[in-house]
Amino acid sequence: MLGKTANGLFWMYRSLERAENTSRLVETGQRIALTRLESSDGEWLSIMQTAGVADGFLERHDEVTKEAAIDWMLRARDNPSSVLSAISAARQNARLVRTALTHDVWEAMNRCYMQVRERLARKVNERDLPAVIDMIKQHTALVRGTTQGTMLRNDIFNFARIGTYLERADNIARILDVKYYVLLPSVNSVGSSIDNVQWETILRAVSARGGFRMVHGNQACSVDIARFLILDRRMPRSLRFSITKIRDNLEYLASDYGLRHPCHAQVDTLMRRFMSHDIDSIFEYGLHEYLQDILAALAALGHQIEIDYRFYE
């Protein structure tokens, strides 16, 4: 496979995952706004922080309004993580690697792009927002589904998965880091209504509400949430799950190509360093520091993969 193709696959799926994550955050933000009586503009800023797009927003806007925030996250061309930008990037990369994709995947991706572009051509008004979010979810799910259902399990698939899970791990770590303070065990705020909203934000933002309830019922405490999102093996959007997938796919590549690279050692170190402790030790170390370290390690891993598999010249 061409290095350029590996690069295109990696970024196609990374962008697709990003588009999904961003749209999920918009949905979460809207949900909070609708279920709270006081003004939620501050919450929109925090939502944009979790999406990693707050700085760009503040450079271009004087105040945070719900309308502006939604527009920035869904449609802004100058926001590279907006749903529209991310889907366009995914489709552009899909064109680049057209020969590596099955007909079904390409068609799903192309359809996704055409529909999203059409629906996001104009500002989305509040009434249409649920339908638009649904449409985005459905179309990205279709790309994911055709990928699962029609792609050969070879190096092409491995690079697609590595892109997906690197983005996902990065996304979860960022969400947790923006909200880490509400997860810190503290006696006086537990059970207060503010906290419930915050927790719910986190769980919704990673589609973990249902899963969490299955495991813990409604008796949530912050430590349980942190454990669930960082260390749970079954939760497809936990850090452990994502990092394990990255490692597995890198391992498949190593055995397929018969060659180990520095990125293999790096992902092993990453697993050992961050996944071999229990949640108490993580809190003891400092949740914020822990998450910052993981984000840095993930970025370094991504960079090493680019080098090892010759994404660029």
Give the binding site for another protein (CB under 8 A): 1-6, 92, 95-96, 98-99, 106-107, 110-111, 114, 155, 253, 257, 259, 309-310, 313
Q: How is residue 98 annotated by DSSP?
A: G
Q: Report CA dihedral (178, 184, 186, 190) to the nearest 10 degrees.
A: 70
**Token couple for 75:** 């449609």
The Cβ of residue 171 has, within 10 Å, a number of other Cβ atoms equal to 24
To the nearest whole angstrom, how small is the minimum distance from the Cβ of residue 180 to another protein?
37
To the nearest whole angstrom, how small is the minimum distance from the Cβ of residue 114 to another protein?
7
Q: Which is nearer to another protein, 191 or 258 (CB)?
A: 258
Distance CA 144, CA 124 (A): 25
Give start and end residues of each alpha helix (H) in 120-238.
Answer: 129-150, 155-178, 180-183, 193-205, 209-216, 222-231
Q: Which is nearer to another protein, 69 or 250 (CB)?
A: 250
To the nearest whole angstrom, how small is the minimum distance from the Cβ of residue 97 to another protein?
9
Q: Which is nearer to another protein, 106 or 274 (CB)?
A: 106
Distance CA 92, CA 58 (A): 28
To the nearest whole angstrom, how small is the minimum distance from the Cβ of residue 111 to another protein?
6
To the nearest whole angstrom, how small is the minimum distance from the Cβ of residue 308 to another protein?
9
The packing angle between helices 129-150 and 83-96, to 10°, is 20
CA-based nearest residue to 33, from 76, 83, 67, 79: 67
**Token couple for 222:** 């912050």
Q: Which is nearer to another protein, 63 or 313 (CB)?
A: 313
The Cβ of residue 216 has, within 10 Å, a number of other Cβ atoms equal to 14
Q: Which is nearer to another protein, 74 or 287 (CB)?
A: 74
Q: Which is nearer to another protein, 257 or 285 (CB)?
A: 257
Q: Report CA dihedral (74, 99, 152, 250) to the nearest 10 degrees.
A: -70
Distance CA 88, CA 99 (A): 18
Distances (CA, A) of 71 to 7, 66, 126, 238: 29, 9, 11, 28
To the nearest whole angstrom, how small is the minimum distance from the Cβ of residue 268 to another protein?
20
Q: What is the DSSP string of 4-71?
A: HHHHHHHHHHHHHHHHHHHHHHHHHHHHHHHH-SS--HHHHHHHHHHHT-HHHHHHH-SS--HHHHHH
Contact 166, 14 (CB under 8 A): yes
Q: Which is nearer to another protein, 2 or 190 (CB)?
A: 2
Q: Which is nearer to another protein, 6 or 169 (CB)?
A: 6
To the nearest whole angstrom, how small is the minimum distance from the Cβ of residue 134 to another protein?
21
To the nearest whole angstrom, how small is the minimum distance from the Cβ of residue 276 to another protein?
30
Q: Which is nearer to another protein, 92 or 189 (CB)?
A: 92
To the nearest whole angstrom, how small is the minimum distance from the Cβ of residue 74 to another protein?
18
Distance CA 158, CA 26 (A): 29
